[in-house]
Amino acid sequence: VHRERPEGNLKQLKTMKVNESKLKDIPVVRKFPGVFLEDLSGLPPCREIKFRIDLIHGAMPVAKSPYRLAPTEMQELANQLKELQEKGFIRPSSSPWGAPVLFVKKKDGSFRMCVDYRELNKLTIKNRYPLPRIDDLFDQLQGSRYFSCCT
């Protein structure tokens, strides 16, 4: 918490403990505890579907320079990368592709790591999956007796 002090430009900082929400505090997790793991220990099993990013013809690898980070952000980056590597979500790479990271502060004061893929996105072939018109969807519901909503 940050606030001005009456003595002029002096500032007072106060540390407050933030309540962290636990997985078990979420109603659907309490109702179906066998479906949710307390901690993700690694990647899910391999799937038969192979994913890929299609690039425009002649696209060359892009490796942007890292953004400048504050010392606290550098420490947070090291911590998050270590945790992700220990869980098996990431691994060291020597790819010619590279994207900078930045941090966004969350409501609870922790940092969310974001990767800036804008340069890569400029080189990708966009998938065109048009969404159906909402009025056409409502027309399809005409005469229906039961409706349900998932939110």
Mean pLDDT of 16-21: 49
From 3-12, 50-59, 113-122, the region with the lowest mean pLDDT = 3-12
Q: In this prediction, what percent of the chain has a pLDDT beyond 70? A: 80
Cα 24 to chain center, whole Å? 21
User: What is the domain extent for residue 74?
Assistant: 54-125
Instruction: Tell me if 16 is assigned to some domain.
Output: no
Q: Using an 8 Å Cβ cutoff, are 100 and 64 in contact?
A: yes
Question: Which of the pair, 97 or 8, is modelled with greater confidence?
Answer: 97
C-alpha span between 58 and 98 (Å, rounded): 18
CB count within 10 Å of CB 103 equals: 19
pLDDT at residue 48 in the model: 84
Instruction: Tell me if 148 is assigned to some domain.
Output: no
pLDDT tens per residue across span 19-62: 445 666 778 878 887 777 776 666 777 778 888 889 999 999 99
pTM for the predicted model, two decimal places: 0.57
- CATH number of the domain where residue 58 is located: 3.10.10.10
The 10 Å CB-count burial string (b at 16+, else e) for 45-72 is eeeeeeeeeeeeeeeeeeeeeeeeeeee
Q: Is the predicted pLDDT of residue 1 greater than 60, yes or no?
A: no
Instruction: Tell me if 34 is assigned to some domain.
Output: no
pLDDT at residue 31 in the model: 86
Instruction: Tell me if 21 is assigned to some domain.
Output: no
Mean pLDDT of 52-77: 94
Instruction: Tell me if 2 is assigned to some domain.
Output: no
In the chain, the number of structural domains is: 1
Instruction: Tell me if 138 is assigned to some domain.
Output: no
Q: Is the predicted pLDDT of residue 9 greater than 70, yes or no?
A: no
